[in-house]
Structure 1
Amino acid sequence: MRGWILMGMGFLACGMARGAEIHVSPAGSDEAPGSVREPVLTLEKARLLAREARRLHPAEPVSVLLHPGTHRVMRTVAFRAEDSGTREAPLSLSAWRGPSAPPETRPVLAGGMPVTGWKACTFNGRAGVFEADLKPLGITAPFRQVYLNGLRLVWARYPNENPALPYSGGWAYVDGVRPPMYKDIEGERTDTVRLRERDARAWSRPEEGEVCIFPRYNWWNRIEKIAAFDPGSRTLTLAKKMPYAARPDDRFCVMGLREELDAPGEWYQDVAGQRLYLIPPAGADLSRDEVTVPTVNDILSFHGTHHVRITGLELTCAETHGIRFQACDQVTVEACRIHDLGFFNGSAIAIHGGRDGRVRGCDIWHIGGHGVSVHAGDVDSMTRCGHEVENCYIHHVGQFNRHGLGVMVGGAGVRVAHNLMHDLPRSGIFHGGVLHTLEYNRIRHCNLEMEDTGCTYTGGWCGGWHTIRYNHCSDSIGLNNHGKFFVFAWGIYLDESGC
Structure 2
Amino acid sequence: MSKWIWFLLFSGALNVRAQTRLYVSPTGNDSSPGTLAQPMATVGKALEKVKTASQQTVQILLRKGTYYLPETVPISPATVGNKTLTISSYATEKVTWSGGRKLRLRWQKSEHGVWTSHVDGPPFEQLFLNGKKLVLARYPNFDAQARVFNGTAADALSEARIGRWQNPAGGYIHALHQGEWGDFHYRITGKSGGQLQLDGGWQNNRPAPLHPKERFVENIREELDAPGEWFYDRSTQLLYLLPPAGFNPATATIEVSRLKSLLELKGSPDKPLQQVTVRGIRFVQAERTFMEPYEPLLRSDWMMYRGAAVFLENTETCRIEDCEFTALGGNAVMLSRYNRKSAVEGCHFHDIGASAISFVGDSSAVRSPVFQYEKFVPYGQMDLKPGPKNGQYPTECVAANNLIYRIGQLEKQSAGVQIAMASGILVRHNSIYQVPRAGINIGDGTWGGHVLEFNDVFDTVLETGDHGSFNSWGRDRFWHPNRRTMDSLVAVHPELIRLDAQKTTVIRNNRFRCDHGWDIDLDDGSSNYHIYNNVLLNGGLKFREGFYRTAENNILINNSFHPHVWFANSGDVFRKNIVMRPYAPIGITEWGKDVDSNLFLDQTALQMAQKAGTDAHSAFGDPAFVQPERGNYRVNAGSPALKIGFVNFPMDQFGVQKPSLRVLARTPSLPTLLNSQFEASVQELTWLGASIRTVRGLGDRSAFGLPDEKGVIVVSIPKGSPLEAAGLKTGDVIRTANQEETPNVGRLIAIQQPVNWTGQLGVTVIRNQQTISLTLPLK
| TM-score bracket relative to the smaller structure | 0.7 to 0.9
Partner of 1:422: 433
Distance 2:441 2:39 in 1: 43
Q: Aligned pair 1:431/2:442, yes or no?
A: yes
**TM-score normalised by structure 1 residue count:** 0.81
* Superposed CA offset, 1:357-404 (max 9, x none): 111100011111101111249565357711100000000011110122
**C-alpha contact (below 8 Å) 1:203/1:259 kept by paired residues:** yes
* Structure 1 position 36 matched with structure 2 position 47: no
Residue 387 of structure 1 is matched in structure 2 by: 397
- Please give the alpha-carbon distance, in whole angstroms, between the structure 2 residues aligned to 1:266 and 1:429: 33
2:458 to 444, 461, 469: 444
The residue that corresponds to 1:471 in the other structure is 510
Higher RCO (CA-CA < 8 Å; seq separation 6+): 1
* Cα offset, 1:275, TM superposition: 2.0
Contact 2:149 2:409 in 1 (8 A): no
Rate the CA distance shift 1:248–1:369 in 2: closer, same or farther, 3 A.
closer
- 2:158 equivalent to 1:158: no
Sequence identity percentage:
29
SS, match of residue 287 in structure 1? coil
Following superposition of structure 1 onto structure 2, how do residues 332-411 of structure 1 map, counting pairs within 5 Å? 332-342=319-329, 346-352=330-336, 353-376=338-361, 381=387, 385-410=395-420, 411=422
Is contact 2:473–2:525 with CA below 8 Å preserved after alignment? yes
Aligned counterparts, 1:192-211, within 5 A: 195-196=157-158, 199-211=161-173
Alignment of 1:117-196 (within 5 A): 117-122=105-110, 125-127=111-113, 129-135=114-120, 139-140=121-122, 142-167=123-148, 170-173=151-154, 195-196=157-158
When residues 93 and 445 of structure 1 are mapped into structure 2, their CA distance, relative to the original with a 3 A threshold, is same
The answer to whether the 8 A contact 2:168-2:221 is kept is no
Mapped to 2, the partners of 1:454 and 1:404 lie a distance apart of: 13
Secondary structure, aligned partner of 1:83: helix
Q: Compare 268-277 and 147-156 and name the one that shifted more.
A: 147-156
What whole-Å deviation, never above 9, does each CA across 1:121-164 have from its counterpart, x for those lacking one? 22xx511x2222212xxx14x32211223332211111111233
CA distance in 2, matches of 1:288, 1:38: 31
Matches within 5 A, 1:59-98: 60-84=56-80, 90-97=84-91
How far the C-alpha of 1:409 sits from its partner, in A, is: 1.1
Quote the Cα distance in structure 2 between the aligned partners of 1:150 and 1:35: 31
Describe the SS at the equivalent of 2:51: helix
**Aligned twin of 1:495:** 523
Aligned residue among 306, 317, 324 for 1:330: 317
Residue 217 (1) aligns with residue 190 (2): no
Determine the structure 2 residue equivalent to 1:453.
467
Q: Indicate the SS of the match to 2:522.
A: strand
**Which AA in structure 2 matches 1:270?**
D
Give, in whole Å, the separation in 2 of the partners of 1:247 and 1:339. Answer: 29
Q: 1:490 and 1:112 mapped to 2: Cα distance?
A: 39
**Cross-structure match for 2:101:** 113
Contact 2:353 2:411 in 1 (8 A): yes
User: Could you report, residue by residue, the CA deviation over 1:411-439 in whole angstroms, capped at 9, with x for unpaired residues?
Assistant: 21111110001111111011123222111
Q: Distance in 1 between matches of 2:23 and 2:136?
A: 37
Query: How far apart are residue 169 of structure 1 and its match?
Result: 5.7
Structure 2 counterpart of 1:46, one-letter code? A
TM-superposition CA deviations, 1:308-336 (whole Å, max 9, x none): 01111111111253211111111011111
2:332 partner letter:
A
- Which deviates more, 448-457 or 405-414? 405-414
SS of aligned partner of 2:169: helix
Q: CA RMSD in A?
A: 2.3
1:493 corresponds to which letter in structure 2?
D
- Contiguous gaps of at least 5 residues in structure 2: 1-15, 268-272, 290-307, 367-385, 477-499, 528-779
Point out the structure with the larger strand share: 1
Distance 2:228 2:426 in 1: 39
Between stretches 251-260 and 235-244, larger displacement belongs to 235-244
In our comparison, the structure showing a higher alpha carbon Rg is 2
Give CA deviations for 1:190-245 in whole Å, capped at 9, x if unaligned: xxxx933564441121112111112322111122211233564xx43312455634
Structure 1 contact 74–295 (Cα < 8 Å) conserved: no
Return the structure number with greater helix share.
2
- Listed one character per residue, the Cα deviations across residues 157-199 of structure 1 (whole Å, up to 9, x for unaligned) are 111112332537621226xxxxxxxxxxxxxxxxxxx933564
Whether the aligned pair in 2 keeps the contact of 1:150 and 1:340 (CA below 8 Å) is no
Q: Structure 1's 222 and 397: CA in aligned 2 closer, same or farther, altered over 3 A?
A: same
Distance 1:172 1:230 in 2: 23
Tell me how far 1:247 sits from its aligned partner: 4.8
Task: Report what 1:306 is aligned to.
Answer: 274
Letter in 2 for 1:332: R
1:347 partner SS: coil
Distance, in Å, in 1 between the alignment partners of 2:234 and 2:80 is 40
Q: Secondary structure at the match of 1:206?
A: coil
CA displacement at 1:17 relative to structure 2: 7.1
Structure 1 residues 203, 196: closer, same or farther in 2, change over 3 A?
closer
Q: Is the 8 A contact 1:298 1:324 kept in 2?
A: yes
- 2:201, 2:22 → 1: CA distance? 49
CA distance in 2, matches of 1:231, 1:287: 44
Query: Is the contact between residue 116 and residue 132 of structure 1 (CA under 8 Å) also seen in structure 2?
Result: no
Write the letter of the residue equivalent to 1:373: S
C-alpha contact 2:408 2:415 (8 A) present in aligned 1: yes
TM-aligned CA distance change 1:467 to 1:143, over 3 Å = same
| TM-superposition CA deviations, 1:9-30 (whole Å, max 9, x none) | xxxxxxx972211101011011
Report if aligned partners of 1:172, 1:251 keep a CA contact under 8 Å in 2. yes
Amino acid corresponding to residue 425 of structure 2 in structure 1? V
Change (3 A) 1:60 1:170: same
CA contact (8 A) 2:179 2:211 kept: no
Q: For 2:409 and 2:150, locate their aligned partners in 1 and report how far apart those are by CA, in whole Å.
A: 15
SS of structure 2 residue aligned to 1:82: helix
Give the alignment of 1:15-54 within 5 angstroms: 18-53=18-53
Equivalent-residue separation in structure 2 for 1:51 and 1:269 (angstroms): 43
CA offsets 1:428-463 (integer angstroms, 9 cap, x no match): 011123222111100111111010110011013325
Aligned to 1:239: 199
User: Which of 220, 223, 226 is residue 257 of structure 1 equivalent to?
Assistant: 220
- CA gap 1:446/1:17 in 2 versus in 1, 3 angstroms: closer
Q: Which runs of 5+ in 1 are unaligned?
A: 1-15, 98-102, 175-193, 479-488
1:10 aligns with: none
Q: More deviation in 256-265 or 356-365?
A: 256-265
Q: State the TM-score, normalizing by the size of structure 2.
A: 0.53
Note if contact 1:85-1:307 (Cα within 8 Å) is conserved in structure 2. no
Q: Distance in 1 between matches of 2:233 and 2:96?
A: 29
Whole-angstrom distance in 1 between the partners of 2:190 and 2:398: 46
